[in-house]
Amino acid sequence: MPAFWEESDFDDHELVEVVRDRASGMTAIIALHSTHLGPGAGGTRFWHYADPAGAMRDALRLSRGMSYKNAMAGLPMGGGKAVILADAARTKTPTMLAAFADAIAALGGRYVTAEDVGMSEADMVTIHQRTRHVCGLPVSDPEMAGGDPGPFTATGIYYGIKAAVAHKLGRDSMAGVHVAVQGTGSVGGGVARLLAADGALLTLADIDSARAEALAAELGAVSVPAAAIMDVDCDVFSPNALGAILDDTGIARLNCQIVAGGANNQLARGQHGQLLHDRGMVYAPDYVINGGGIIAVSLEYLAREKGQPCTRAEVMRRLEEIPVRLHKIWEQSDATGLPSDQVADAMAQKLIGRG
């Protein structure tokens, strides 16, 4: 693995730490991009990487994305991310989680973790036994915020898709709007259900084809193989799976007017936002449209630190600000001719003191 400061995705990160616990076999990377606005907040990803360099790349890119996401969400939080390197069998043990929790605790509150790919609410509870710097903990009162951030993320994306349809298509209803949804897990499935309730026409795909087919049957939608979803003729392509799919080849395949979904780091490289712009597509910057989850868990954490409650109503109110921010980005993009990702990046960089 090259030195992290030689990686193209290194962006003056404040801290990049590789943690190894021999007794449990745990290896993790914790990356803090910026704490300008507050402690670096971002989830922990538990994933098997064939090449450890991929883990470093994810930690660097995702932590920078969290700096931008939290800033654009108006949260007093910086950007951080952690990656636990899983073996091929995805072996996860309580001793590994304990060692990881101790690594978080050693940072003294500079990093606050949460649930991400491969991690669960139960894992957050286990980590919380050894450090308080955890958000997204389950709650028993349905009126309070906490627990799985997926539904909040899905709601924010749903609001963002409706905003994009209004901006690009001039339509104030989703009835009859064709949306191709890539990924039907917690987030993508939640987005699909909300869109279906509004009368949208849906084409669904997932690497778990049975899951996509089951959801399609539930919603009266159509399912296609995962490899075919980017070729679907539709109004909106909504990527809600893994990132970096919008590269030269992927963008050339798209047959839509809007790209709006929850996957992190959708653009493979910076120039790919320009390619979408050149094709006349409206792009919702991923770290703006998918901010619902971190809004929910951060508000829960900040309230808990102050000994105060955080209600679901307050979180939902904050989610309604996501389309407002997106409209500002698109309006500035229209006025300047700059791609929406560049407009959003400039806004975020200014907020974290790097503009």
Query: Which residues are catalytically annotated?
Result: 81
SS3 track for 55-114? HHHHHHHHHHHHHHHHHHCCCCCEEEEEEEEECCCCCCCHHHHHHHHHHHHHCCCCEEEC
> Strand locations in the chain, DSSP E?
15-21, 26-34, 40-41, 44-48, 78-86, 111-112, 178-182, 201-205, 222-223, 236-239, 258-259, 282-283
Q: Are 190 and 248 in contact (CB under 8 A)?
A: no
Q: At what angle do helices 52-72 and 292-305 cross, to 10 degrees?
A: 70
> Strand locations in 118-247, DSSP E?
178-182, 201-205, 222-223, 236-239
For the record, the structure tokens of 316 come out as: 């939902």
Q: Which residue has the tokens 């001793």?
A: 95
| Exposure letters 25-52 (e unless 16+ CB within 10 A, then b) | ebbbbbbbbbbebbbbbbbbbbbeeeee
Q: Are 238 and 180 in contact (CB under 8 A)?
A: yes
Residue 111 to residue 28: CA distance in whole angstroms: 14
Exposure of 181 by Cβ count < 10 A (0-12 exposed, 13-18 middle, 19+ buried)?
buried
Q: Among candidates 227, 228, 250, 230, which has minimal Cα distance to 238?
A: 230
Q: Are 82 and 28 in contact (CB under 8 A)?
A: yes
